[in-house]
Structure 1
Amino acid sequence: MRSHLQTLTRTVSVVRTLTGGFRPSPKAITRTMSSNSTGLMFQLKLNPITGNSEWIVIEEELDDASPKPMLATTSYLDMLNDSPRNRVYRTAIDKTVSKQCHVLDIGAGTGLLSMMAARAMGVDDDSSPSKGVVTACESYLPMVKLMKKVLRANDMNSKIRVLNKRSDEVEVGVDVASRADVLVSEILDSELLGEGLIPSLQHAHDKLLVENYKTVPYRATTYGQLVESTYLWELHDLYSNEANVADGIHLVPKGKESILRVKPQQFAMHCDAMGEELRLLSEPFKIFEFDFWKRPDSHGETQVHTKATNNGTVHAVISWWVLQLDEEGNIFYSTSPKWINSPSTNNGLSSMYTGTRDWCDHWKQCVWFTKGKGLPVRKDEDVRMDATHTDISISYKFNAQSQTSEVDHSQDSHLTLSPERIAIYGDNNWRQFMLKAINYALKGKESPLCVIADDSVFLSVAVAHISKSSHIIAMFPGLGDKGRQYLQAVADENGYSMDRIQVINTRKQQLTMNDTHQNKVDLLIAEPFYFGAEGMLPWQGLQFWSKRTMIDSMLAEDVCIMPCKGILKACAMSLPDLWRSRCALENIEGFDHTMVNTTLGACGPSSESPCLPFFIWQCGETQKLSDTYTIMEFDFLKPLSSCHGKAKVEFIEAGVCHGFALWIDWVMDSTNDIVMSTGLDQRYWKQGVKLLAEPLKIGPGICSTVIEAHFDSSSGELSVNNR
């Protein structure tokens, strides 16, 4: 599963590396390190204000009193609340583990599948290899500790052997007495392969399993469908969108179309939320089939043939997978979009492949963008597509699509950004908004020294293009030298010389007067945008306040600071699907999980739900229950400081309040005329969500609530509470 990002936690830099199986769990987003000699465990934390990381000591035991940031922001809770998933696994395990044997669980998590297996074969306390044994393999240490609590609470701790290792580190004769007869696992992401499914199965087949072993699940099949969607096109084709903008800025000049792009990969998205913006151009088609019961290949290719069902332009391939959990083919789980589940639109797929499921965030559909403006097709035209899989990903190529002519550039000058960032940079309204703010900031300034305090290549190019006499220092804390190489590569097309642009050393903690040749800073600006923080909470952008504070003594008396203010906004929301996926756990298929609620940050009377980042518009059923309220303001004209604020929120709609959506509006000018919102109407930015401990039914006698926020400038934490 793709895991949520918390403001104080640094994501593992390589998400698609190989933990429970061959992976340091993408379900868990913190990087941890343990020391066997000292008994200590460390966690890598990122201060969202300074941008600096440090290893801190965390509690050895996950007791109820210790902080749980490393697990509260993962997808484990969402996954455990997926009742259809739990049900099909229980049914398949009961059916497959029909006698006492050795069961291996790779990527065991809380131990749910291990407990199902132990119960299915009646393992007792004096189990031996000849009777029955379950080995639970989980490499993520905090989860191992939590699993042991779950096992003890369910009287399973003596029935299941827990290994704190990656599956490829397990040795028969050392860690386990014998090879396993049955493999149970759930090492799947939205793309299917991204959590190291293939390498895990290969190693298990070669080293850990008997011949003719059984497995749950039994097989997985990926399906796809061709779609037309202007929204999806805008998420990747910056060149074509920029060609429709007449502002003179060329982020992707002709002949350099790939210099600023999204990574060529599948992106997990809630496609149901796009609704009528998607136009289907084909029936669903089968792509790959992966059998868990035999050794998979690391590489595979297939050619897909499908007929276009309408005239149009193929902007993307939407894909999903169907999991067959039993050998007979009676138990299935599908990540298909809802239009596949509709009886009237199942497009000939067997009904067993189109079962409904609840909204969940841990498994979505995937989107693969076609090149450029897309592939034009006519109804009944045969469309051929080559599909390729590696050991961790699946990619596509259309035979009929003409290849965009591009000059071969050094890979060093290429920048890969998120689809949402590409769409923002290609949006005409956003660009006009930012150019208006830049012109406002430059007004009356001749030969200004401008510091770009974030990773915005747009601001860097725009200022250099507009102000021919300016000198620019780009801090680029995330892009670093990649940003410098990019600016150099597009300089000629944007009419500036690199003599006027300086990218400071990214390892440099403090900008000094030596960097500015003893000149004061006339203009300090940011979007704000920080590379690598796109999926984090909205107030990650407050890093700009820290940058401004660090160079306070270097600012000119008439310095223009943009943005000059940040406003924390909130709106009461009905979020039934999101709340259900994050609510407190009780009994899961007969096993008590109440002891994990506090650790996993569940919504409930005995646990506190953290603020988490979500695209609200992709969160299933949603409804605004109040107007928008200002909670507090951050004054960037003054140095960084702690602050707090609160607001009385009046409900204007009847319903059930599950929590609050929070975001920041960035005020770019001192007259408050130029305000960039990241709120509910802006689909390219994630909002923060603070869920209530218990849903609040809005009715007679309940017409308002109070929301309060505290910002700690030393840690960068922003805490939100309601009463």
Structure 2
Amino acid sequence: MLERQPVLFHGTNHPLSATAPNTADADALVAQAETTPLSDGGIAAAALLTETLAKTPDHHAAQLLLNQLHHMFVPRWHFPMMADASRNRAYAEAINAKVQPGDIVLDIGAGAGLTAMLAARAGAGHVYAVEQQPMIAEAAQQVIADNNLSDKITVISKWSHDIIIGKDMPERADVVLSEIVDSNLLGEGALATLKHAMIHLAKPGARCIPESGILMAQPVQSDALTETMRPRSAEGFDLSSFHKFSRMAQITPNDAAALPLFPLGPTVPLFYFDFTNPDIAPARSEQTLTCDTEGTVHAVVVSFQMQLAPGILVSNDLRSDGHWGRTAYLPEVPMPVTPGTGLPVIAQHDATKLSLSFNCDGEDSGAHTTLTLQ
């Protein structure tokens, strides 16, 4: 059920009832929406609220609840992602390079349907666009219809692990297409999802977009980041005991503009992921980040580089301006460094989440593993 608004909703006796006598039907629809289970992903409740607003466009309660539903089931990152021209162009180029005429394409995490439509435009015989969230899947169907591609694309509102060949798809896919990574390549369960897809839903030797990725770490200086995430005092009071809650910061593109991050050394690879044959075993990487500039390490930023197709890369490193954010790990205290200083770190993942710690007791061997996208 939708969370009730404590001030506005008391049956139908919210403020609108006193000023708009013709809203009784609309109020009844809102009351029904409030008690409608959300087990269908919000579809039924959203339909009731949409009907309410068709009758009474300025119905305050319906507007609030519909906005709440949309925020609940349609993550806000969808919109800057769709507006990311560099990301869209890279995917379009990779899809054109890898999709062949007549291919069966499986698009996992289809969202609004953009990558599915790119695959259809590239000549796919048919695209099966898998979107787990019913409200998003319903909108994707309309977007695809608006672009006259309903005959080339089938939207499947299921978790990809539940797809059955011969029922949901007539045959296995020639190409597995996805964009289900977060800023650390792990957070949306990409490795397990793609491993299942390549084994159970794809033909032997199927092509994959993206193909691979590297997760990297880089020491950075940012007084503004420290002042924002760890203010030392306010109005003369010492706040330092609160800093223990600020060991990691999710930095959005807007944050990066407001809190400039200055690199103090090159990126160092932590993990390599092969999306054509994902390994979902936990992994640990001990690396030494070498600083080549004098300054103060306020954080280690973790970023990625993905290869969509040979020669076609996307990244969220410090030079990129796309929609992906970055994760910054803050040491207990800022660390002054000079050229040649080594900063040992330990990174670990369980195929879904990443942690990074500062190995202050580790020895700086100066040895780095070099990984390249192929």
TM range (shorter): 0.7 to 0.9
Amino acid in the other structure paired with 2:87:
R
In the alignment, is residue 158 of structure 1 matched against residue 161 of structure 2? no
User: Could you say what secondary structure the match of 2:269 adopts?
Assistant: strand
Give the structure 1 partner of residue 328 of structure 2.
367
Q: Deviations over 1:598-634 (max 9, x none)?
A: xxxxxxxxxxxxxxxxxxxxxxxxxxxxxxxxxxxxx
Give the structure 2 partner of residue 302 of structure 1.
285
Q: Give the Å deviation of 1:391.
A: 2.1
Structural mapping, 1:419-568, within 5 Å? none
Q: Deviations over 1:427-478 (max 9, x none)?
A: xxxxxxxxxxxxxxxxxxxxxxxxxxxxxxxxxxxxxxxxxxxxxxxxxxxx
Amino acid in the other structure paired with 1:365:
R
The 2-side partners of 1:32 and 1:205 are apart by 35
User: Could you say what secondary structure the match of 2:175 adopts?
Assistant: strand
The 2-side partners of 1:278 and 1:335 are apart by 13
Q: Give the Å deviation of 1:81.
A: 1.8
In the alignment, is residue 120 of structure 1 matched against residue 125 of structure 2? no
Q: Deviations over 1:292-328 (max 9, x none)?
A: 11123242222222322234432201232222110xx
The 2-side partners of 1:322 and 1:250 are apart by 37
In the alignment, is residue 41 of structure 1 matched against residue 44 of structure 2? yes
Amino acid in the other structure paired with 1:41:
A
Q: 4+ runs of 1 displaced by more than 4 Å?
A: 65-68, 235-238, 244-247
Stretches of structure 1 that go unaligned for 5 or more consecutive residues are 1-7, 9-30, 44-55, 124-132, 339-356, 403-723
Q: Deviations over 1:647-683 (max 9, x none)?
A: xxxxxxxxxxxxxxxxxxxxxxxxxxxxxxxxxxxxx
In the alignment, is residue 291 of structure 1 matched against residue 274 of structure 2? yes
54, 73, 92: which one pairs with 1:90?
Answer: 92
Q: Give the Å deviation of 1:279.
A: 4.3
Give the structure 1 partner of residue 202 of structure 2.
209
> Is contact 1:223–1:285 with CA below 8 Å preserved after alignment?
yes
The 2-side partners of 1:387 and 1:200 are apart by 22
Amino acid in the other structure paired with 2:182:
D
Give the structure 1 partner of residue 257 of structure 2.
273
Greater helix share, 1 or 2? Answer: 2
> Is contact 1:265–1:394 with CA below 8 Å preserved after alignment?
no
Give the structure 2 partner of residue 220 of structure 1.
213
Give the structure 1 partner of residue 31 of structure 2.
none
Question: Percent of aligned pairs with the same residue?
Answer: 28
Give the structure 1 partner of residue 105 of structure 2.
103
> Is contact 1:265–1:395 with CA below 8 Å preserved after alignment?
no
Q: Give the Å deviation of 1:119.
A: 2.5
Q: Give the Å deviation of 1:207.
A: 2.4
Change (3 A) 1:32 1:155: farther
Q: Give the Å deviation of 1:122.
A: 4.9
> Is contact 1:92–1:216 with CA below 8 Å preserved after alignment?
yes
> Is contact 1:191–1:268 with CA below 8 Å preserved after alignment?
no
The 2-side partners of 1:278 and 1:122 are apart by 42
Amino acid in the other structure paired with 1:375:
M
Q: Give the Å deviation of 1:171.
A: 2.1
Give the structure 2 partner of residue 333 of structure 1.
314
Give the structure 1 partner of residue 8 of structure 2.
none
Q: CA RMSD in A?
A: 3.5
> Is contact 1:34–1:41 with CA below 8 Å preserved after alignment?
no
User: Could you say what secondary structure the match of 2:169 adopts?
Assistant: coil
The 2-side partners of 1:175 and 1:229 are apart by 50
Change (3 A) 1:279 1:171: same
The 1-side partners of 2:308 and 2:90 are apart by 7
Q: Deviations over 1:539-591 (max 9, x none)?
A: xxxxxxxxxxxxxxxxxxxxxxxxxxxxxxxxxxxxxxxxxxxxxxxxxxxxx
The 1-side partners of 2:133 and 2:308 are apart by 25
Stretches of structure 2 that go unaligned for 5 or more consecutive residues are 6-35, 363-374
In the alignment, is residue 382 of structure 1 matched against residue 342 of structure 2? yes
In the alignment, is residue 252 of structure 1 matched against residue 241 of structure 2? yes
> Is contact 1:217–1:292 with CA below 8 Å preserved after alignment?
yes
Q: Give the Å deviation of 1:158.
A: 1.9
Q: Give the Å deviation of 1:291.
A: 1.6
Q: Give the Å deviation of 1:245.
A: 8.2
User: Could you say what secondary structure the match of 2:348 adopts?
Assistant: strand
User: Could you say what secondary structure the match of 2:352 adopts?
Assistant: coil
Normalised TM-score (structure 1)? 0.39
Change (3 A) 1:74 1:278: closer
Q: Give the Å deviation of 1:186.
A: 0.9
User: Could you say what secondary structure the match of 1:212 adopts?
Assistant: strand
352, 355, 360: which one pairs with 1:392?
Answer: 352
Change (3 A) 1:59 1:267: same
Change (3 A) 1:58 1:139: farther
> Is contact 1:266–1:394 with CA below 8 Å preserved after alignment?
no
Amino acid in the other structure paired with 2:178:
S
The 2-side partners of 1:146 and 1:250 are apart by 47
Count of matched residue pairs:
315
125, 143, 147: which one pairs with 2:140?
Answer: 147
In the alignment, is residue 136 of structure 1 matched against residue 129 of structure 2? yes
> Is contact 1:138–1:144 with CA below 8 Å preserved after alignment?
yes
> Is contact 1:103–1:135 with CA below 8 Å preserved after alignment?
yes
> Is contact 1:236–1:369 with CA below 8 Å preserved after alignment?
no
User: Could you say what secondary structure the match of 1:175 adopts?
Assistant: coil
